[in-house]
Chain A
Amino acid sequence: MQASLLLTFFALTLFSCKPKGTQSAVSGDAATKVYVAPGKYDEFYNFVSGGFSGQMSVYGLPSGRLFRVIPVFSVDPEKGYGYSEESKPMLNTSHGFVPWDDLHHIALSVTKSEHDGRWAFGNANNTPRIARIDLKTFRTAEIIEIPNSAGNHSSPFITQNSEYVVAGTRFSVPIGDNQDVPINTYKDNFKGTVSFIGVDPKEGTMNVAFQILTPGINFDLARAGKGKSGDWFFFSCYNSEKANTLLEVNASQKDKDFIMAVNWKKAEEYAKAGKGQKKPVRYAHNVYDEKTHSAKSTIMNEVLVLDPKDCPDMVYFMPCPKSPHGCDTDPSGEYIVGSGKLAAVIPVFSFTKIQAAIAAKNYDGDFDGIPVLKYEAVLHGEVQKPGLGPLHTEFDANGYAYTSFFVSSEIVKWRVSDLQVVDRVPTYYSIGHLSVPGGPTAKPHGKYVIAYNKITKDRYLPTGPELAQSAQLYDISGEKMKLILDFPTIGEPHYAEAIPSSLIMNNSKKIYAIEENGHPYAAKGEGQAKVERKGNEIHVYMSSIRSHFTPDNIEGVKLGDIVFFHVTNLEQDWDVPHGFAVKGASNAELLIMPGETQTLVWKPEKVGVYPMYCTDFCSALHQEMQGYIRVSPAGSNVPLTFSTGTNLPTEPGK
């Protein structure tokens, strides 16, 4: 009875744009499957891109509870990110300080194509950047800007031992000295690039190792090969028409666009053999140092560019219907699944056949001098009538693939071996990416598929014209997928990865050892707290501990002075950050972790006495954790003094 009702419901909703009675898709035992009892932990961390919020969020699965928002490409006053002097350099670029970006995709570091729990990478689409998040601290450790790129969408995808993170340009643009060209000379003057960013195997530090110059097309997504295809990288691309206006029509002309296959090992060899050209560019490389609790931004001046015409056998195109988005390799590395947004089939390519076609030079002409492999020669097969608007595919451990369908709002499960559709479930609504825990790796953990939805009409209490974006959790442990939970997300989630909690939680950082604090303005112990004047700069070396600041009375600041509050949190206890705020400060607060030093700059504009206080509840006497700063007129002779506990009240009238 229930099954027939569900079937009818699916049939009805498959092609309607507004599913009714979505609650009936949830079966009676859904709550037990997502309930994580008090005192128990979730099984997976889910790292979710924050879309236009520019942040990365961390949820637990299967509960769907939000644990953390990690600021990456957008300033975050809650944590002082982008406001404290130490974190400002993280958002420096060749365009100066860029306080926002849209974070589209997540890639978790891998060893032998399996999650290793060390780092998460995220991409900035707007001002092309790649960030590395340290999964010990859940903080952004590094941001590197991508030169010769415009709209960094096709990233950050990662090779099987995290050797490289790639960044393919979304927009092709004029590259080189003369960029002041008419837009309609696109076909002559616009070029694309894909960048290979090397990752230091121990520290994770990134560097732009080399770029490959490509025809003027738009790169969408990518995936590295694994196992037998581990030396290769695959990029989906659209606008092979090379249109420069009204792309919704003009970039949908051809029946097939391309997946670009790159032999990155070969590219690496060419780079080492000096086949590339060093081109002058400017891009920022920002690194956060955990010893000094400070970021440093360095402007780089050069990048190595490989031109496929100088580097034979490095780049090939494979025809792929039509405006391909997803480009996903299965756990074995044999199959590459293309997903044409406007295509009626899902083409699945075979790595073995690709190699054979290359060996036999089985070409269908070339595209700007790059060989195009024959579609039929490289095709494993097509999934017929899968749904409308296939976007992205992930895999489980049992030989099944799960593809999201934006237009028909559903997830379709199909068998990789014979390309047969075996199950489908509706999503509410307009799913973009989906995620299976471990789904992009060689060892999927399976168990769940999570849909990340673009539009969520009717799903939650209305909140004005804009509604919460949503993720939906489906149990895939049985033959049929079952919806068991949905939960709201921040921004518009693009992509996410889920990783077993055991790979991360035991390494989570609890404190910064105060003995190792190398910040130049740290007060390592209350005895080092002091206030110094250097010209018109006042440097306050301030310490905080439950439940007071030292010093908490400061006088002698004058108008025209710039006050640097360098606050050191002396606590050495997990989960006891202190906050710091001053009345009228025009940037933000600080949130200082145990053992850390952070700096807030304050330029007082008026004479008076200003309160300062701790913003993060810390003890029964948190409310008492406060102090005063007196600001006198410019030229006043109030001496610079500071104290805690000694500036005792005078008798009234004296």
Chain B
Amino acid sequence: MKLEKTWILALLTGSVIWFISCGEQGVKESDPPVDIEKVAEKQPEVHGSEIKAGDIKFENPLNAEWVLSGKGIYELKCQACHKLTTDKLVGPGWKDVTKKREPVWIMNMITNVDMMLEKDPEAQKLLEQCLVRMPNQNITTDEARQVIEFMRQNDGEK
């Protein structure tokens, strides 16, 4: 019994020391740990890289093809939460969104929502209002650009 207690004590002391002094080393010893960040980079899920002002061009007249494909993406992936009016559903209504926000801001909200909710005060305000994070809907940068074209049309641009 005494022996057993000593053992447990030794084990406890051992693990405490290990925890404090050399956690990383201990882990390395037992298995080569997989780096989560690296693995995430390899994942095929689409997260666009940050889009900066100047990366994207806007022209009139609107690109009719993009308006059409943007509408298709809206109906498949956006309509459940966003109306085309000013009414809020789950997220804000889209009417006049291209007048209120920089298109680059909208595109980043679509493709880089994690970054936006972490950094951007306007995005954070929206989350406080809606209480549902804008989901990542697996939309590429090009597709997001097409959605913007549809939004521009919805806002009356020709």
Contact = CB atoms under 8 A, between A and B. Distances in A.
Given A23-B4, A32-B18, A546 B132 contact: yes
A573 interface: yes
A35 B22 CA distance: 13
Interface in A454-469: none
A506 B39 contact: yes
A511 B135 contact: no
Contacts of B90: 545-548, 621
B39 A505 contact: yes
Interface string A6-42: 0000000000000001011000110111111101111
A525 interface: yes
B45 interface: yes
A545 B4 contact: no
B33 A41 contact: yes
A550 B90 CA distance: 13
B7 interface: yes
A31 B8 CA distance: 12
A550 B89 CA distance: 13
A501 interface: yes
Interface string B124-147: 000000011101111100000000
A621 B132 contact: yes
Interface string A555-591: 0000000000000001111101000000000000000
Contacts of B36: 39-41
Nearest to B72: A525
A31 B15 contact: yes
Contact of B29 (A33, A40, A645): A33
Nearest to A570: B80
B77 A513 contact: no
A510 B44 CA distance: 8
B135 A546 contact: yes
A515 interface: yes
Interface residues of B, number: 40
A125 interface: no
A57 B79 CA distance: 38
A619 B133 contact: yes
A37 B19 CA distance: 10
A32 B33 contact: no
B11 interface: yes
Contact of B138 (A41, A511, A545, A645): A511
A547 B136 CA distance: 14
B32 A43 contact: yes
Nearest to B23: A37
Nearest to A509: B44
B27 interface: yes
A29 B131 contact: no
Contact of B135 (A24, A28, A505, A572): A572
Given A525-B79, A526-B79, A36 B33 contact: yes
B102 interface: no
B30 A33 contact: yes
B11 A28 contact: yes
Contact of A514 (B10, B23, B76, B81): B76
B75 interface: yes
A506 B76 contact: no
B55 interface: no
B31 interface: yes
Nearest to B42: A506
B34 A41 contact: yes
B7 A572 contact: no
B115 to A, nearest CB: 15
A496 to B, nearest CB: 18
Contacts of A570: 76-77, 80
B31 A545 contact: no
Contact of A505 (B3, B30, B34, B77): B34
Nearest to B34: A41
B75 A545 contact: no
Contacts of A332: none
Contacts of A572: 77, 135-139
Interface string A354-397: 00000000000000000000000000000000000000000000
B60 interface: no
> Chain A interface secondary structure, helix, strand, loop or mixed?
loop
A527 interface: yes
Given A32-B26, A546-B90, A572-B138, A40 B80 contact: no
Interface centre among A32, A515, A621 (most CB of B within 10 A): A32
B15 A620 contact: no
B136 A29 contact: no
A543 interface: yes
Nearest to B10: A28
A538 to B, nearest CB: 22
Interface string B71-112: 000011101110000000110000000000000000000000
A524 B26 contact: no
B132 A619 contact: yes
A422 B75 CA distance: 68
Interface string A466-507: 000000000000000000000000000000000001100110
Given A36-B33, A621-B132, A29 B14 contact: yes
A545 B91 CA distance: 12
Contacts of A574: 43, 45
B28 to A, nearest CB: 10
Nearest to B75: A525
A281 B4 CA distance: 63
A576 B138 CA distance: 13
A525 B30 contact: no
A510 B47 CA distance: 13
Nearest to B31: A43
A33 B24 CA distance: 12
Contacts of A547: 90, 132
Contacts of A546: 81, 90, 132, 135
A50 interface: no
Contacts of B3: 5
Contacts of A62: 30-31
A515 B133 CA distance: 22
A620 B131 contact: yes
Given A28-B10, A525-B77, A548-B90, A36 B136 contact: no
21 contacts: A31-B14, A31-B18, A35-B27, A39-B36, A62-B30, A511-B138, A514-B76, A525-B75, A526-B80, A543-B80, A545-B80, A545-B81, A545-B90, A547-B90, A547-B132, A572-B135, A572-B136, A572-B139, A573-B136, A620-B131, A621-B131
Across the A-B interface, the 10 shortest Cβ-Cβ residue pairs:
A572-B138, A43-B31, A40-B33, A41-B34, A32-B26, A525-B76, A545-B80, A526-B80, A525-B75, A572-B137
Given A572-B138, A620-B131, 13 more contacts: A32-B26, A36-B33, A40-B27, A40-B36, A43-B32, A43-B34, A62-B30, A62-B31, A525-B77, A525-B79, A527-B75, A546-B132, A619-B132
Interface of B: 3-4, 7, 10-11, 14-15, 18, 23-24, 26-27, 29-34, 36, 39, 42-45, 75-77, 79-81, 89-90, 131-133, 135-139
